[in-house]
Amino acid sequence: MKRGIGIPGVVLAGALGLRALSAADARPAKPADSRSGDSVTADANLMVEREVGIGTRMSGIIDSIQAERGQAVRKGQALATLDQREFELDRRAAEAAFSAAEADFDRYKELFGQKLTSKTELEQRRARFEQARVDLEKAKLVIDRSVIRAPFDGIVVDRSVRIGQKVQIDDVAPLFRVSSMQPLLARVYLNEAWVDRLRVGENVSVASAQVPSARSTGKITFLSPVLDPASGTFQVIVAVAPDRGRVFRPGSAVKISFARAAR
């Protein structure tokens, strides 16, 4: 029985309960809101590189769910499993066909060695054996893909699937959303006047916009080589270290303070 094999769900920004943004889809932070000759502060929202909506790679019925909202998961960990009974029957049939083709091929190799069969007949058995091997590997792949897995280490921030639900490869709505929690990043846009004042690797100060006691440090990881001609600003990305109280999380509003380094 042929089964369609698809591709996991698309990247999605946002999730219930724990807001997270992908670096690609993050809304630009406000330009610097205060500055002096040697320092500047800009508003931003923390984001993460990866948050994905996960679909199914096989059509079927959900048999069990192995992960819930808020649960930490590791890359490759099972989130849910489809009913595998029919897939298992297909695998067993493919195994039987493979064993028969292998035995037939081995027999014809002996006959060919004894010059009791032609090379053409031997090659026909070889082709049947190789096709049976491929069919068995496909049957095993179907079973593997009937398990919906986490694509990377992270947190399950939403689950919409239920036991007994029929899922399709081409379903638009994701079954799970998984967000990485590290590294935390902040994207800001600074005035052109600062284009020669910062360097990749320099440290910055980070403070929560809502919780005054939450503070941490960050490191500049990217300085855009181009300027936005409309605003006269350039993009800066900062990797932010977790604060002691673990207040910082994807979506948190923060203030990033840059100081002009001595040259």
H or E segment and range at residue 113: helix 85-113
**Tokens 């490759």 -> residue:** 76
Count of other CB atoms within 10 angstroms of residue 255? 18
pLDDT in tens, 37-78: 688 999 999 999 889 999 999 999 999 999 999 999 999 999
The pTM of the full predicted model, rounded to 2 decimals, is 0.71
The residues near 234 (Cβ < 8 Å, ≥ 6 apart) are 189, 190, 192, 194, 195, 223, 224, 226, 227, 228
Four-point Cα dihedral 108, 109, 113, 119, nearest 10? 70
Alpha carbons 91 and 141: distance in angstroms, whole number = 9
Alpha carbons 26 and 85: distance in angstroms, whole number = 43
pLDDT in tens, 117-176: 999 999 999 999 999 999 999 999 999 999 999 999 999 999 999 999 999 999 999 999
Domains and CATH numbers, the chain: 31-49+181-263 (2.40.30.170), 85-145 (1.10.287.470)
Beta bridge partners of 184: 240
Alpha carbons 45 and 14: distance in angstroms, whole number = 13
3-state secondary structure of 84: coil
